[in-house]
Structure 1
Amino acid sequence: MRWRDRGPGGDNSRPGSAPCAQVTSSSSHLINHGIENRTISRYETTAVYTHPNAEVDIVLVHGLNGSPEKTWTANNGIFWPLDLLPGSLRGLQANILVYGYNADVYSGRIDRSASDNFIHHHAQTLVTSLTLFRRGEGTFKNPIIWVCHSLGGILVKRALLYSNDVRAHHHQIYRSLYVSTFGLIFLGTPHTGADVASWGLMLQAMSDVVIPRRFFESESVLLRTLKKDSETLANINNHFLDIYQRFRIHMVHENHKTDIKGTKIIVVDADSASPQLPGVTYYGVEATHSQLCKFDGPSAPGFRALSTDIREWIIEAPAVIHGRWKAEEEDANRRMRNEIQEHIFPLVTETDVHREDVPTAAMPQYQGRLMAPRGKDTARWWVFLQDADGVHGFNAD
């Protein structure tokens, strides 16, 4: 893995110098301002910047026909999650992660194929990948700030819905993304869809070859998801209304038309990118759909607003998410007690059941006598209730 040090101010600290986009070291070094990693995996989760004292994870998710590297890289080679963002945090500590998935709706390359997965399949993979990555890194309960471009915003919304729906005890770790999410920045996300002709022109411009007409006559699964009046989009939006108010949300739309071989279009208009919801912040950026997520320098349109949002959220998020995790654990323990009362207590003779608060235990202990299947014998059993990260059950003798 190729890494690069970032000292105080990094390479961006020299007056008048452009951020360096080249790797200068083949080894990993830990210094005061974190570690950089420029070996980015095409799929799943890659930490591109880590800090030992980070209390927040910033996660970037690309859009249609994008990738975790090229989506965030400007024409001059600036990969802003590394070259601009760490320096803009002004001493605040955060990990910066990029997530990759197959968002190809057309590929002329032999080693790549168009995705045939539905959005909910991608969402399940995102939840699993990021949860296990954060668990392995010891950042399981860090607040999350999402930055999503285009389709990536739809994917993250669906992933949060999936994470919120997880209730089974043995899968509860996957609720962590829902519990930990503090804020979302949507860059040109087509919340209500976009005209398929706009996507077709955009993809044609991005391709090195002429895309066959039959491609547009038989749209990919992901492209169908992004169409106006898409049933999938409508379902995601309707359910997201139930949870969105717990998050800080900023929705950004493009103000400049994209020039596609002589045709100028707005790929995702303001109505789709910024559906009016109470408590949500909206603004436009003087950029095209593609430029919304590519910053060639600190003065690039949109970067100052985005970096300021992230900086303020890093300050606010830890206290808020700590409170949510405390409430989540209390709720999990409450559900556990209810399950015991519903499924086990009916089998116990009422006169023999009592509760013991054991000083050395983290949770109350229930003790009783469990009736044997045929009523011939009884067995003494104990149920231990632990926190959401633990296990529970009963022992009999």
Structure 2
Amino acid sequence: MEHADYLHAAVRLVYQAALDARQWDAALGSVANAIGAHKSLLNEVAGEATGVIVSAGFEPAHVRLLHHEMVSRMPGWISAIAVGASLRQSSAISDTDFRRSELYNEAVRPAGGFYGIVAPLVRTPARQVYLSAGRELGAEDFSTEDVDALNVIVPHLINSLEIGSRLARANLYAQSLLDVLDRANVGIILFDAALRPVFVNRYADALAAHGAGVVVTKNNVAASKHAETRLLQQAMAQCVALHRAKPADRDSGLLRAVPMRCYLSREPSRPALVARVMPFATPEQPGRDMERREAGTACGALFLSEPDRPLALDVDALTESFQLSRREAQLALLIANGYGLAEAASTLMIGIGTARGYLKQVLGKTCTHRRAELVALVLRSSLCAFGFADGRYGNGGE
């Protein structure tokens, strides 16, 4: 290949590595080819965590030695190189002085090398990344043309590392959001423009596993009954239609949009699931962007709730908000879940007289006068939307 072809190949692989870290081996090898290096190393220092992003041509033991020297005893001539610039060691230190240096004797010589070139790619208080490339002992020094070639590649390396960091942060953020959704006390299914599920939380997965009104497969979300499936998928399709509309119509449609609702039948003894469909914010440009969304990007959410499921309420919220004892709060939560006083007393394994005493204390502390007022207050103050609390009442002491 011509020298320009090596440069183009290196740049292409560098950007592929931004999207897939497994491509860094090939990318670094291509960079080494473009500048005629026999060995190369991309190493990182991030706070107390240090590591080698990738290396080419080095034995693992030699990589560790060179990385240790770069981290623990960074030579001054390397620290002085500006970020984004490439420098031959021979331009900063004489061969004689380099032979006497710790970097050479502790790391470069054991690896069988001598001439090197270094380019700082990232240098912040939190993170530093350096590209080091070298030639084996006895080979000639890097030329000015080699330095120029590396200077062409370095900006792309910097961009690739930044893209990779941003993607990693975005993936972490997205995963954190999905973890939160997974803990929700309602079923949540995110679906794409083809109405295929792209995320199913634990609650929705459990409903589907027990055949409780909803059926979820790899490519479909349906109801147990055909007629209800049609209504459900019509509601989901309305979300998708908002993404296909012209910007002005789409924006006004979103402003008017409310969760579209339908009901999914379960076995005769259970009330129907309540299914609500909500569109996401839409892209600025329809058309081609919409086609990309066909490939699995969520554009709507389906929420599934069970009307007869005991409410997930937070006992700690009541104890802290109204200075209730734990027993008083447990009794209040049972009553809010529809328990009669005798049934609540039995559940808490206390006498009915004790339960009446607790209820009187609860009404006084919450400034309510009837059970209906107490239930409304409890629901407003302690409803738990996520499953961090397990909803059990326990039988601990006051």
Q: TM-score range by the shorter chain?
A: under 0.3
Rg comparison, structure with higher value: 2
Structure with the larger helix share: 2
What is the TM-score normalised by the length of structure 2? 0.23
TM-score by length of 1: 0.23
